[in-house]
Chain A
Amino acid sequence: MANNSYSTAEIAANAPRYRRKSSTFIDGIHDVPEQGSMAPAQLYSTMSGRLFHSGRIAIAMVGLPARGKTHICVSMARYLQWLGVKTRIFHLGDYRRATVGEGGQVPQDYFYPNASPASVMLRQKILKKCREDIYAWLNHENGQVAIYDAVNPTASGRRSLAKEFAKHDVQTLFLESYVDNEDILKENARNVKISSPDFHGMDPDEAASHYLKRIEEKIPVFETMQEEELNYVKMINAGQAFFYNNVSFNYLSHRIVFYLTNLHIKHRTTFFVRAGPATDEDSYKADAPLSEEGRAYAVKMTETLLRHRDQERQAVIDEGGPDLPLRPLTVWTSTRLRTIETGEPLKEMGYKVRQRSQMSQINPGVCEKLSERAIRSLYPEEVERHELDPYHHRYPRAESYHDLAVRLEPIILELEREQNDLLIIAHESVLRVLYSYLMHCNTRDIPKLKFPRDEIIEIIPASYQNEAKRIHIPGLDPSTIPGSPEDIRIPVPGPPSGQLSPIPGMSSPATAEGSESIFTVRPPEKVVNKAKEMVADKVADED
């Protein structure tokens, strides 16, 4: 749970060094990272904390509201942080809200080019506060990439912004999201802004049109980027095309563009499930097929998943949403037999199943088939080192979680690219790493995440932060539920905390909740996300 009672705006305005911590079941993308921790896929570290031999960079967003800017910012920050680049988002809107106060409004002419002196003063004040925070973070907290989320509508404003940043030894890369496709605009408006009370009870299409019109009135002048002397990337119609004006940019910016070419802003969800139990679970090398229980599991999992998708769709219709067909579902498995066979029922029903060799489970190396006691007596020094850093340490001939994360990087880019709903059937170790990307977990927690077999995890993307939901699979044999036996069998050390499992209040059901009837159908459970309230006004706001 988010254990704070501040609003983003207050925090942003009053406490530049605030520390916020979410549980692992809530996307931690906006958490302040711990000092000195290595990111999941970070290849190396430097004294300055900056990577890729790039200096300090401000990525300034450009674009009107409903162009998916926040989604782009958050996704980009997620990816860069995963690579180990210290990245933080500064939403100008937070500063505006904090300055005008609770329930306050900016003057009508706030975004006008010929605004009144009072409005211009207010604008300057808000900008200054935000920029000062950016400099403080870059200068005193080893920050490398500051993402500046604002409309930045005019060429003159952008030129002076770049000049101002340059004075502080910060390079500026502008990133414009340019959309002239009406369908995408409406879809964005529908997805993000519909929760605003202003549009309550309105037909979604009508609400979207209203909303887009209001933007035009509020921000009458917007100049798309054409400044030859500035570094900019123009993302056109949510990634259909890119225009790249490169004056002096480097590896890191190319890497960002590479990531963005795989990003899209269509709404879709990702499901995670474990592979069923195999006949010989002990062996990494054996690649055993599913056991009888495993095949029963595959059938039950499939039923639960399909039922859940139908229910969700019905719920949308019942709430007055549009009667849209289900999004197609794609299934990814590893190339290991038990994941392939777990996907078999879906394949038989005609769903597209793809095998991804990068999704093989973590290689246990010499620890294969060894009991915890055997590992401790055979490799006491390795165990000691492992306990110091369970994420990065690798047992002889084994892979570390870090190795696994680096290996999974292309999967992550393809996961971003996928437009269908996606079911990932994989091993617990792989789910840990993929989950940690989508939900931004700390590397210390990743090896401890638990994915019991009787649950499907659903990740629902939202522009501000992702949410996870767990869906109970009823009627499974309790012996098949607990953690992955093919992993290295040394319990990951560390103080037990609420962050151990992505499932709050539930560790391993086979032990902790053994008494509960497994035949009870637990309703899908959405974790209460306080952070959402905190961003409710953000979402309804025009920026």
Chain B
Amino acid sequence: MAPKTNGIGVQVEGTRICVVMVGLPARGKSYIAQKAQRYLKWLSIPAATFNVGNYRRHDSPSPSADFFDTNNPVGERKRRAAAEAAVQDMLRWFRAGGVVGILDATNSTKERRKWVIDRVRDEGVEVIFVESKCDDEALIMANIRDVKTTSPDYKGQDPEEAAQDFRNRIRNYEKVYKTINADGDEDDLTYLKIMNVGKQVIINRIQDYLQSRIVYYLMNLHIRPRSVWLSRHGESMLNLEGRIGGDADLSYRGDEYARKLPQLVLDSVGSDRPLTVWTSTLKRTINTARHLPPHYNQLQWKALDELDAGVCDGMTYQEISDMYPEDFQARDEDKYNYRYRGGESYRDVVIRLEPIIMELERSEDILIISHQAVIRCIYAYFMQKTQEESPWVPVPLHTLMKLTPRAYGTEVQTYKANIKAVSTWRGKGSTAKHEDPAPEGGV
């Protein structure tokens, strides 16, 4: 079997982990599951989510609340069958080389948790429970309206009715729900319990490094609604010449973008609530941020600096392909892993961005003004792009992107400043020139 290693060095050593979600509906379980999966895949760890609800939906597409009453034998039997089907698929996936499987269901009783442990441990897979516990009624209703009424169960139904039905469905679960180790007899389980969106956290019996890493990541998550805005710097003097890297000033058009950016951001945010602005330490991003309102807090991160092109810094693609023809080709073949002479690869950039991702996860509204390769890596994280795709994502100049993480994925909106700029995109295997990306490849 291929060694299970990835660039950031999380070596998993044959440990396989089943992350079992626990908690009542509308506690952000799917969100947490989906985030964990995204993060692990970004770090090149094979991860997948098995949502019991999806298996159940297959049989009973739009059930009413009493389907979820534990006294309803038909509903109970169908839900058990769905859990069984999900677990079976997950185990099959583990046998095929999966490393972290996430079982997304309420798992709200001791008996059910015991059942999962028995099923999974037999296969030599470790179990860690992740519980989200919340008793803040306002937070719960907000989550229901935001997420559940758009859930496939309520397709085409009146939202208010849907919300009410959903609240009733939860009541059926509340009757049998037992938080982990409520009676003190689950103390030997490995678990993470997050209470009221991270106000209190209990971590119990972490067994290995990968588990500690997952826990660490989940502790940085929050489920308050927020967005992340991404923009490249305005066009630079070196962009005009088609040169990569460097630390140049903005061009005339780049400065025009900087002056237009505040309005673009305002239009996108929709209010004057302040964003926190993160730039790199290079002039072109700092200058792009300089016209933003003074009540926006601004921070400079070394980790947001452009991919270091080493000896090729400041060269055009043509010069690179003339001077280092083999390198130029090698980079096209495996752009993610290719490291410039004396510089960095995309993999290196992902490694140094990891603290940024952690910080992003725990922050609220952030506007990042950075560089092409760095934005690609951050974009890949939010959009679950593979290592083959991410280094080729077109990120045009003079465009603001708004990413909004939701329970079922990340929404993207783009705002064009309509200020002309050179293209800095080059297709795979193409000539050593910047070109316009194919229309369907647009972000």
Measured CB to CB, the closest approach of chain B to A535, in angstroms, equals 30
What are the residues of chain A within 8 A of B355 when measuring CB–CB?
43, 52, 251
Q: Point out the residues of chain B lying under 8 angstroms from A532, CB to CB.
A: none
B13–A257 contact, CB under 8 A? no
List A residues 378-420 near B (Cβ within 8 Å).
Answer: 382, 394-397, 406-411, 413-414, 417
A241 within 8 A of B: yes
In the bound complex, do residue B209 and residue A244 qualify as a contact, i.e. CB atoms below 8 Å apart?
no
Which of A66-74, A178-186, A351-359 participates in binding chain B? Answer: A351-359
Among A241, A411, A413, A414, contact of B204 (Cβ-Cβ < 8 Å): A241
Q: Kindly specify which of B225-233, B296-304, B394-402 makes contact with the partner chain.
A: B296-304
- Chain B residue numbers with a CB within 8 Å of A413 are 209, 212
* Chain A hits for B219, CB < 8 A: 244, 254, 257-258
A371 at the interface (CB under 8 A from B): no
Given A254-B358, A257-B216, A406-B351, verify A414-B209 contact (CB < 8 Å).
Answer: yes
In the bound complex, do residue A357 and residue B11 qualify as a contact, i.e. CB atoms below 8 Å apart?
Answer: yes
- Among A409-456, those with CB < 8 Å from B are 409-411, 413-414, 417
CA–CA, A406 and B215, complex, Å: 21
List of A residues within 8 angstroms of B341 by Cβ: 366, 396-397
Residues of chain A lying within 8 A (CB to CB) of residue B351: 406
Q: Is B62 in contact with chain A by the CB < 8 A criterion?
A: no
CB pair B362 A254 closer than 8 Å: yes
Question: Which of B198, B215, B303 contacts A246, CB < 8 Å?
Answer: B198
The contact of B3 among A262, A357, A394, by CB within 8 Å, is A357
Q: Which of B11, B302, B311, B362 contacts A251 (CB 8 A)?
A: B362
Interface residues of B (CB under 8 A from A): 3, 5, 8-11, 13, 198-206, 208-209, 212-213, 215-216, 219-220, 299, 301-303, 310-311, 339, 341-342, 351-352, 355, 358-359, 362
For residue B220, which residue of chain A has the nearest CB?
A254
CB-CB < 8 A to B208: which residues of A?
417
Interface presence of A240 (CB below 8 A): yes
B358 & A251 in contact (Cβ 8 Å cutoff): yes
- A243 CB-CB contact with B under 8 Å: yes
A360, chain B: closest CB distance, angstroms: 10
* A45 close to B (CB within 8 Å): yes
Q: Which B residues touch A45, using CB under 8 A? A: 302
Instruction: Write the chain A residue with the least CB distance to B341.
Output: A396
Pair A245/B200 contact, Cβ less than 8 Å: yes
Nearest chain B CB to A418 CB, angstrom units:
10
- With a cutoff of 8 Å between Cβ atoms, the chain B residues found around residue A250 in the complex are 362
List chain B residues, Cβ under 8 A from A251.
220, 355, 358-359, 362
Chain A neighbourhood of B358, CB < 8 A: 251, 254-255
Contact between chains at A258 and B213 (CB < 8 Å): yes
- A220-256 CB mask vs B (1 if < 8 Å, else 0) is 0000000000000000000111111111001100110
Task: List 11 additional A-B contacts (Cβ < 8 Å) besides A258-B212, A410-B209.
Answer: A52-B355, A240-B204, A241-B205, A242-B204, A243-B201, A246-B198, A257-B219, A358-B5, A396-B342, A408-B9, A410-B8
Residue in contact with B200 in the complex, picked from A52, A244, A358, CB distance below 8 Å: A244
- What is the count of residue pairs linking A and B with beta-carbon distances less than 8 angstroms? 104
Instruction: Tell me the bound Cα distance from A418 to B14 in angstroms.
Output: 17
Q: Are B205 and A358 in contact (CB under 8 A)?
A: no
> Which of B8, B200, B215, B352 is within 8 Å of A261, CB to CB?
B215
What residues of A have a CB within 8 angstroms of the CB of B8 in the complex? 410
CB-CB nearest in chain A for B362:
A251
Q: How far is the CA of A242 from the CA of B190 in the complex (A)?
A: 12
Chain A residues within an 8 Å CB radius of B9: 358, 407-411
Chain A's nearest CB lies how many Å from the CB of B59? 39
Chain B residues near A396: list those with CB within 8 A. Answer: 310-311, 341-342
Complex: A243 Cα to B341 Cα, angstroms: 47
Asked if B11 contacts A358 (CB within 8 A), the reply is yes
- Bound complex: CA A70 to CA B81 (Å): 53
A447 to chain B, nearest CB (A): 18
Cα A366 to Cα B351 in complex, Å, equals 23
CB pairs A–B below 8 angstroms (29 shown): A43-B355, A44-B301, A44-B303, A53-B299, A241-B203, A241-B205, A242-B204, A243-B200, A245-B200, A246-B200, A247-B199, A254-B362, A255-B216, A257-B203, A262-B212, A357-B3, A358-B11, A366-B341, A382-B342, A396-B310, A406-B351, A407-B9, A408-B9, A410-B10, A410-B11, A410-B209, A411-B9, A413-B212, A417-B208
The answer to whether B13 touches A354 (Cβ under 8 A) is: yes
Q: Pick from A246, A254, A397, A417 the residue with the most CB of B within 10 Å.
A: A254
Find the residue from A239, A251, A262 having the highest chain B CB count within 10 A. Answer: A251
Residues of A within 8 A of B299 (CB): 53
Residue of A nearest to B204 (CB): A241
CB-CB under 8 A for A43 and B359, given A254-B220, A410-B9, A411-B9: no
Interface hits, A340-387 → B, CB 8 Å = 354, 356-358, 366, 382
- What B residues does A119 contact at CB under 8 A? none
| CB of A335 within 8 Å of the partner chain | yes
Cβ 8 A contact of A417, one of B10, B202, B204, B209: B209
B377 to nearest A CB, angstroms? 15
